[in-house]
Structure 1
Amino acid sequence: MFNLSLKALLSAVLVLAFSIGSSLAMAQVQKFNLSNGTINAEITPDIGGRLLSFSLKDQPNFLLVGDLAALDTRAQPSPTSPHISYMGHEVWLGPQSEWWVHQNLNAERAAKKAVWPPDPYLAIARNTVLEQSAEKVLLKSAESSISGVQLVKAYAFIPDRKNSLKLQVRATNIRKEDIAWDLWFNTRVASNTNVYVPVANAADIRQQLMTSDAVDPLTYSLNDGIFALDFLPPTQGKAMRKGKLMIQPSQGWIASFSGKQLFIIQFPLQPQSAIHPEQGQVELYNEYNPENLQAGIMELEVHAPYKKLAPKEFMIAEETWTLVEYKGAATRNAQLEFLRAHAAELGLR
């Protein structure tokens, strides 16, 4: 009897050890830290080669990241892979309506013209590390049998701009026939982050409604050429506000405030004709519930021009990220005053 109990105990210990080991394996995402004494960035070659953290020194992460300890960070991509909410910053392709129509590996998603999940070979697969130093990380994605592209991503400090990080992506057509896509930067931040976008006219904003019995649409203001979300609580009986805004900006930047940090994303401004008609050069996706902010999300999205690529041809898109210390009030007036006062030095034209 004693021996049987000991065997049972040893078996339980082994099961527990295996369980703990599996959990640790999930959490052990390889990370590269970039730091220049002013800003810090954390990049992983795993889970699509995404950016996990961006902050001023001694300030919290500005990005919203999934619970990597609870998620499968060693998931292998396949044509049937589900979406996994790693969040942070990643790169997609646009338009979203064509994500699954140019492949024959998942007939069901092709027939439905599925708009979810994103390409698992770009979102989940481990990237190859081409270069890694204290100033730069260069990653190469898997070749995607879904989208027909391979991505190379560069994250690097800008020598004469101590507060800034350059993000550059190259997409190459790996197929034997032409393909057409845009490059789509997607950056997740907290759901109540104050976001401002320069917009010339109300007609340059359109909303993709996602209303239901439990969801209200987003609300926003446009004053003196600056767009801002209003963050009104949902009406009685509704659980949240939710939607996506497609924006044609008048200048190439997005500014967002959280705590003591101002985060600016700059990008080459494109004419509306260069952007796929189903998308906007700037897109903001927001799920907002003031009673449960942690359950929501804000996505700061930027689309590069939609282009046709011949076999082996490539296209490049880039963003410049900048962080600035902000000591003012958490009000729209104070934040806009700060932006206008520092527009020249921040390159907001």
Structure 2
Amino acid sequence: MPRPHLSFLALHLACLSLFLTPAALASAALPSHRLDNGVVEARVSEVAGGRLLSFALKGQPNFLLIDEAAGDPDAPPDATSGYIRYQGHEVWIGPQREWWVHQDVNPARAAAKATWPPDPWLSLAKYALVHKKQDEIVLDSPASPVSGIGLRKRYALVAGKPGSLRLDAEATNHSGKLAGRDIWFNTRVPAHTMAYVPVAAREDVRIEPAGALHYTLGGGLLSLDLPMPGDAPRKGKLFAQPSHGWLAAFRDGQALVIQFTHQPRAAIHPAQGQVELYQDADARAADKGMLELEVHAPYVELAPGEAMRASELWTILPYHGPATRDAHLEFLRRHAAQLGILIP
């Protein structure tokens, strides 16, 4: 019996797939909008929670950790949705220990005071496109029956700062009752990224679980230590009260500086830190794990219909020096005036 003939298109796609790497296939998985000013590029998706998928200097690798093929972006969220590891950058609503206690769509999670997964309607749903311009995109989430919050996200390239991207989040209380909440920015990068936070003293740092992570603190700057060959894997979270409103991360020829409004300790929910670094790293598997660069806005009580707002300013610069703490700190000091950051 003769074999059926493949159409030209099917044959072309079959052949093409032989030459696409898994990374290339993943990068094409989610529909997205591109922001590009010739210096930096960013990609934003309406699906998967209105997520920021990539940010990098033009022609350079994505600074973010992303897996666009992690789940089915067309699957609507529901009260039993689990977590899908798309990664990239997303916005949560804190505090974490109250994620599921103010809802009745999943009574089991409410009774257990579940701290996982994050709100599916904010992190997995398709957002509505409010408007899109060459240098800006605005997206709206559905109103969540879990947190009672609806999110508006704005991503915009910054006029006069060609290496910068501004991220704005507005959270509105749709629950019909008073709601204590905070805005929580969460940025995922590969595990071998080196991170720095201005911190005045060890009393401004705690680690959970105790002893899980290692850091260096000197000259008013904290750096999260990476595990070296022979070290045990590291998995835990560092909570910090920063002395100034920025953090920095270095990896593979690029330096990312994230600026935010500095808050006094009393403004941040006591279960959180204004800056949190979650590290999952193993020197034996450098391509696995991740680092989360997290920033909390103030914890506030929102009346029905009331909104709160927070923002981050991202700036990415080329970095061609060695991957050492001393070299990174010297680079930050040299560029502090350009960036508009204060370094102790």
TM-score, structure 2 normalization: 0.90
* Alignment match, 2:341: 348
* Alignment match, 1:10: none
Structure 1 pair 278–25 and aligned structure 2 pair: CA distance change class (3 A): closer
* Alignment match, 1:129: 129
Give structure 1 stretches of 5+ with no counterpart.
Answer: 7-12, 211-215
* Alignment match, 1:230: 225
Q: How does 1:1-349 map to 2 (within 5 A)?
A: 28-66=29-67, 68-209=68-209, 217-233=212-228, 238=232, 240-349=233-342
Structure 1 pair 26–71 and aligned structure 2 pair: CA distance change class (3 A): farther
* Alignment match, 2:20: none
> What SS does structure 1 have at the residue aligned with 2:167?
strand
Distance 2:229 2:284 in 1: 10
Deviations 1:143-173 (A, max 9, x none): 1000001000000011111111100000001
The answer to whether the 8 A contact 2:297-2:310 is kept is yes
User: Displacement, 1:175?
Assistant: 1.9
Q: Which has the larger radius of gyration?
A: 1
Distance 2:309 2:153 in 1: 10
Instruction: Kindly tell me the number of residue pairs found equivalent between the two proteins.
Output: 326
Deviations 1:217-265 (A, max 9, x none): 11101000000012133867x4x11110000000000011111111000
TM-score, structure 1 normalization: 0.89
Distance 1:174 1:234 in 2: 50
Structure 1 pair 116–316 and aligned structure 2 pair: CA distance change class (3 A): same
User: Displacement, 1:42?
Assistant: 0.4
Distance 1:226 1:70 in 2: 35
**Letter of the 1:58 counterpart:** G
Percent sequence identity over matched residues?
49
Distance 1:88 1:128 in 2: 19
Deviations 1:240-297 (A, max 9, x none): 1111000000000001111111100000000000000000000000001011122210
Distance 1:200 1:152 in 2: 34
The answer to whether the 8 A contact 2:230-2:283 is kept is no
**Letter of the 1:75 counterpart:** A
Structure 1 pair 54–25 and aligned structure 2 pair: CA distance change class (3 A): closer
> What SS does structure 2 have at the residue aligned with 1:283?
strand
Distance 2:289 2:193 in 1: 11
Deviations 1:89-142 (A, max 9, x none): 000011100000000110110011000000000011000000112100000001
